[in-house]
Structure 1
Amino acid sequence: MNLTTYLRAGYPGLVVISSEEARAEAEIAHACTSTKRKLHAWSSTEGLVDTGEGRVTPCSDPLEALQQLDGLFAAENPQHVVLLRDLQLHLDQSDPMLVRRIKDTLRMAKTNGHALILLGCRLKLPAELEHEFTDVDFDLPDTTQLGTVLDGILKSAKLKKVDEVTRESVLQSALGLTTTEAENAFALSVVETKAIDPKVIAREKARTLKRNGLVEVVEATTGLSDIGGLNHLKEWLTGRAGAFSDSAKTYGLPAPKGLLIVGIPGTGKSLTAKATAGAFELPLLRLDMGRVFGGIVGQSEANLRSVIQTAEAIAPCVLWIDEIEKGFSGSKSSGSTDGGTSSRVFGSFLSWMQEKQKPVFVVATANDVSQLPPEFLRKGRFDEMFFVDLPDALERAAIWDIVIARHGRKPTDFDTVVLARACEQFTGAEIEAVFIDAMHEAYFEGKEPGPREILEAITRTVPLAQLMDGKIAALRHWAKGRAREAASHPTAAKPTRGRRVQSMN
């Protein structure tokens, strides 16, 4: 946090947004000490406190607290910093007297070299104050800060220091957590295993992020070898798998920004996102963009900031955004539908994609690319855009092999070439649904699924390609010349066994 620089530059109004109040206050206190400023802190429960002398001035109302600063901010006094906790709760009430008083106090602070610092989990300033305060980045703890927490837990539990390899693994597993969350995870690991176990830390991080509701850690159990077909896409990813290494950084190679995969539902887009993390050997975070948008003023912007902060703290990592068009489709009409919230969030996300410095590889998938704003698709946001079409006969035959084997049967007991011809235009997800349907029928009759049950299930199924033939044709037309083909589909090829193709989306 570059708070010290801002204080030395004479900024009168600063904002620190963080849920780690104790750590943020410690950083603020350190900045005041290094700049030789006296620190005062206000909250509605404690009043105005001189942190150096411990003197308390009771005042639960922020307007009353600001009035107390008239004497404190006099020109003849030493430079002071006043920390205001949770002021957002009072600003939400749209009190014109409070807004006016803040502006007057900031003017006095600027003249005499003092500063106000607002601290809270969120902050949406009224228009009158938007240009009066400057946001100060407060990142999640890095491995050095988490290491201090780890040492404290080891000392309190009277455990020996872990070896360097284990320590590095533990700290990497804890990246993305606050100091409090990391401390809890370390303590839980000690209780469960009598040691610090990286697997326990990673498990608790996954639970914590999922509970927060914005991003979740997904275990990447697949790699590019688990995907058949999509050979062009796999070659592109293989060529960038080493771009996050130290040698690539020394070479001067910038980290890849991301990948946009568009195509027909059920054709393997989401699986590719998971396989990317496995191929790059990086953690995988899944973001539900719909959850970013909140009903409280300023919440959506704060949620996006939290997502970016978490991803950059865990970096290098893969950030997977599924069906991204659902999150940004309303940004064009945002001004008349939600007061411009969607447009602001969309703009912030685009700016981050364009300018991000941390190695966060974004994999976004979309079914209906027509809903995405044009500026989202231009070069510079993503490194490449691929189009995934329906599987051809070769891929469908191999999909049958995988589906049958996955459900505990032998593919050699079925003629998957015939089955592939019978389910033309089916996606991999639809093929699996057909086999499960056939299994239900066979189970009811007390036998194993056979060709009759499978062919009957195929007959009962209307594939998406028929239900949405017009939209699929339009998508193919749009993709031609705009997106790279994810796979090469030779028209004259005949299906053969042995080619491994994943079936699920």
Structure 2
Amino acid sequence: MTRRHYTHWPLLESPLTAIAVSPSDRQCFFKQFERWGLDMELPLYLWNAGYKYIQEIHSGKITPTPTAVEDNILGTICNASRDGIFLVEGIIQSVAPLIDLQLRNAHDALTQGDSLTFIVLFDALLDVPMNLYPLIPQLEKPFPSSKELEELVTQFCQEHPFKKESDPLPLLQACTGLPEGEITLVLNRLVGEASTLEELADSVLEYAKQKLAGKGVRILPPPDVPKAAGLDLLDKDIDKIASLFDPRASSWKLRNPNGGLLWGLPGTGKSLVAKMIAQRIRAKMIAVDFNQLVGSTVSESLQNLKHLIDLADNSGNVVLFFDEFEKNFVGWESGGSGGAMAKMTGELLSWLQDHTTPVFMLATINRLGLLPAELVRRFKYVWFLGNPHNGALYEIFNIHLGKYCPNLHFSDSQWRILLDEYRGCSPDEVGKAVERTLETNFHSLVSQAKEQGKPFNPRKYLPQISLEDLLSERRNFTPASANKAISDQLYAIRQDADFARPTSGRDKSRFARINRGMFEQSGAKNQGTGTTKLNRKPKSLEVI
């Protein structure tokens, strides 16, 4: 449920109130109530099960009072008939039947009594029974707003020796979704280990990831390559998305994009792109198996989905990642788990349409037609990833070869041979081919050393890969796109690709293939006349 900000508390004039407060925000919470207590000329008290005596908060210090609490803190407060604001922690998160009755009695006593007594129940989570809703207004101390967060980060930067001209955006994004008190604690703890604002932002983001992982959520690692090659149009979209995930964008009344679909055959880099997006917006990437959310009953399934959405909504910048999303919807409207899946889809649709938190839902799909049409329409972006053109293939090879052999250089003629041989291969197939080539070369050196009876020390050798090695590896496998079933599927996908946003522009590299006529491709120019001599048997047609 949506609760009002806890700063509305003085306006309620309610004797009994419940407020959701993060444990790291307790000190901020106490300071605010101490200010209100001074304004109202009322003392401020505190109690939780860790205290035997009711405590008084004065000038930021907590000291015990003579009043002991045996078992019923609410009864103790009401029977004392003492003016004051009483902060009671830890009894509203899970309300047992006995506490339910004590809350009713306390409400009656406070409304009928003559003393100016206010009881404020607070905890990280509130679980107020429905029958007590009219008696106990519920408020919350939310995460800092974009303006509050900017002020918090700006003040921190001014107090520490970071260059004032540094862009605070990385730190703003990393701190999004953390309570005010936690931000202060974490920044002060990590600042000594960072020499730049960027390093501090990375440390805060890593802390937030570990915090989520501690809740049993699977956090995906960052990408193992610096960029997704050859996706220039997609890269522009990602830049736009990253700018909208700047908390300051809300000053223009702009909201974060809600999500995107990454559509294409396996191996075209969909999962890598998802990791790139998470990295660019400094988000935690939560991997989700939608089928695992389906429980034994519809109610349990919806509860599992709600828990996941609540977790994401309260974790700052998050990429909620569903791999091969369409497989979850095969037969979703008929029998089995269909009823649960249909209701879960409806719940997901509502959230996807209405949520304003910095959560970006990303789903990879191989077959768009299996997704419910109403779900597809909710996504802000639908991207199509096909096999790379020559310029992209050149970039992909350079990224993977650069990981192992950074000083490797091929001539343009060698590159053209390599690109021609690997044409039709997916980015995943290229990466695996490079890795297998290096494994083969390493094994060859080990075998040679054994045959010669010499010890082998790999540190004495630099990784080496030649053009011939890569061509030899290419002969050892058949690209998936050459499989008839997959090529038919690819053709069918391309017929609908206009529905999606393209991810790559035209190949403008020096290795771009030139479209020629059917016979011109296989002909040769006459040096004397400049005319083309046609071969009798044209080569087979290629789809460019």
Question: What is the TM-score when the length of structure 2 is the normalising length?
Answer: 0.63
Counterpart amino acid of residue 437 in structure 2: A
Query: More deviation in 387-396 or 296-305?
Result: 296-305
2:39 is the alignment partner of 1:29? no
Question: Hey, what's the Cα distance between the residues in 2 that align with 1:246 and 1:174?
Answer: 11
Which one of 365, 377, 399 corresponds to residue 367 of structure 1?
365
Task: Output one character per residue of 1:167-208: Cα deviation in whole Å (capped at 9) or x when no partner.
Answer: 968975873455356445435544x58xx7535533431331
Decide whether aligned partners of structure 1 residues 353 and 69 sit closer, same or farther in structure 2, where only a CA change above 3 A counts.
Answer: farther
Maintained 8 Å contact 1:39/1:81: yes
Which one of 56, 72, 90 corresponds to residue 86 of structure 1?
90
Task: Output one character per residue of 1:375-408: Cα deviation in whole Å (capped at 9) or x when no partner.
Answer: 54334xx432222223345643553354344432
Maintained 8 Å contact 1:220/1:275: no
Partner residue of 1:228? 230
User: How many percent of aligned residue pairs carry the same amino acid?
Assistant: 12
Which one of 136, 141, 152 corresponds to residue 140 of structure 2?
136
Q: Displacement of 1:13 after TM fit?
A: 3.1
Counterpart amino acid of residue 11 in structure 2: R
Partner residue of 2:486? 469
> Which structure is larger by alpha-carbon Rg, 1 or 2?
2
The CA RMSD measured in Å over matched residues stands at: 5.3
Question: What is the TM-score when the length of structure 1 is the normalising length?
Answer: 0.67
Partner residue of 1:261? 261
Maintained 8 Å contact 1:174/1:182: no
Maintained 8 Å contact 2:389/2:512: no
Q: Displacement of 1:300 after TM fit?
A: 7.8
Partner residue of 2:511? 497
Q: Displacement of 1:23 after TM fit?
A: 2.5
Maintained 8 Å contact 2:18/2:139: yes
Decide whether aligned partners of structure 1 residues 346 and 199 sit closer, same or farther in structure 2, where only a CA change above 3 A counts.
Answer: farther
Alignment of 1:188-337 (within 5 A): 189-190=191-192, 197-199=196-198, 201-213=200-212, 227-229=229-231, 231=233, 233-234=234-235, 236=237, 254-255=254-255, 257-263=257-263, 264-273=265-274, 283-290=281-288, 304-305=309-310, 307-311=312-316, 319-323=318-322
SS in 1 for 2:322: coil
Maintained 8 Å contact 1:397/1:495: no
Partner residue of 2:474? 458
Structure 2 portions without partners, runs of 5+: 59-63, 214-218, 446-462, 514-544
Question: Hey, what's the Cα distance between the residues in 1 that align with 2:397 and 2:410?
Answer: 8
Partner residue of 2:501? 484
Structure with bigger RCO (C-alpha 8 Å, 6+ apart): 1
SS in 1 for 2:319: strand
SS in 2 for 1:46: coil
Q: Displacement of 1:498 after TM fit?
A: 7.3
Maintained 8 Å contact 1:48/1:65: no
Maintained 8 Å contact 1:84/1:116: yes
SS in 2 for 1:322: strand
Alignment of 1:333-482 (within 5 A): 347=347, 351=351, 354-356=354-356, 360=358, 362=360, 364-367=362-365, 376-379=375-378, 382-392=379-389, 395-396=392-393, 398-408=395-405, 409-412=408-411, 415-423=414-422, 425-446=424-445, 448-450=464-466, 453-461=469-477, 463=479, 466=483, 469=486, 476=493, 480=497, 482=499
Question: Hey, what's the Cα distance between the residues in 2 that align with 1:300 and 1:17?
Answer: 23
Q: Displacement of 1:457 after TM fit?
A: 3.2
Q: Displacement of 1:307 after TM fit?
A: 4.3
Partner residue of 2:99? 98
Task: Output one character per residue of 1:30-78: Cα deviation in whole Å (capped at 9) or x when no partner.
Answer: 34444555543221121462536853533364xx112224436x7xx75
Decide whether aligned partners of structure 1 residues 399 and 85 sit closer, same or farther in structure 2, where only a CA change above 3 A counts.
Answer: same
Question: Hey, what's the Cα distance between the residues in 1 that align with 2:112 and 2:492?
Answer: 60
Maintained 8 Å contact 2:262/2:383: yes
